[in-house]
Homo-oligomer: A and B are copies of this chain.
Amino acid sequence: MSHACGHDHDHVHTLDSGRIDARLSEARRLCEAQGERMTAPRLRTLELILSENAPVKAYDVIDRFHPDGAAKPPTVYRALAFLEQMGLIHRIESLNAFVACQGHADGKAVQPHAAAFLLCDCCGSSEEVAVSLPEIDQQASASGFETRRVTLEARGLCKACR
């Protein structure tokens, strides 16, 4: 984690392993409840993303996948696609990275959903926030546009890094 901003990034806290295990179990339940399989590579990919608790690059997952040596890219990209479909992770377009969905943090199952993100350019932290988008919905309606997915990402500085 390189930075030249004159302050530390201790405020980017990680999840303890108990909390991660809980999230993984819950993810397995959620998949099985929908007739989907939570396989080893999917679980491992989710584990690595949860461990970071911030947006992670696909190739970071690839590099850390095995204790010794990297995974093959398709293994991880397929797992990422699956986890995203299940609503367990989100892709951050402006970072080419993936982050665990915060909608599950409190133990509730959450269907795949659009989310907005506050992304710190200094410490790399991410906060998922729920927003409605009346204006763009209205603009879309006015244009006869049928919206399927919305990407909303705010880049800037978090409270601790300002």
Q: Measuring CB to CB, which residues of chain A are less than 8 angstroms from any residue of chain B?
A: 93-94, 116, 118, 120-121, 127, 129, 131-133, 135-136, 139-140, 143-159, 162
Contact = CB atoms under 8 A, between A and B. Distances in A.
B118 A151 contact: no
Given A139-B118, A152-B136, A157 B145 contact: yes
Given A144-B158, A148-B157, 5 more contacts: A129-B136, A140-B154, A144-B159, A147-B155, A150-B155
A153 B154 CA distance: 12
Contacts of A129: 136, 139, 143
Given A132-B135, A151-B94, A127 B156 contact: no
Nearest to A121: B148
A13 to B, nearest CB: 15
Contacts of A120: 145
Contacts of A133: 135, 152
27 contacts: A93-B93, A93-B94, A93-B153, A116-B136, A118-B136, A118-B140, A118-B145, A121-B148, A127-B143, A129-B139, A131-B135, A131-B136, A131-B139, A136-B152, A140-B156, A143-B158, A144-B158, A144-B162, A145-B154, A145-B156, A145-B159, A146-B156, A147-B154, A147-B156, A149-B155, A149-B156, A151-B153
Contact of A146 (B149, B153, B162): B162
Contacts of A156: 140, 145-149
A11 to B, nearest CB: 11
Contacts of A157: 145-146, 148
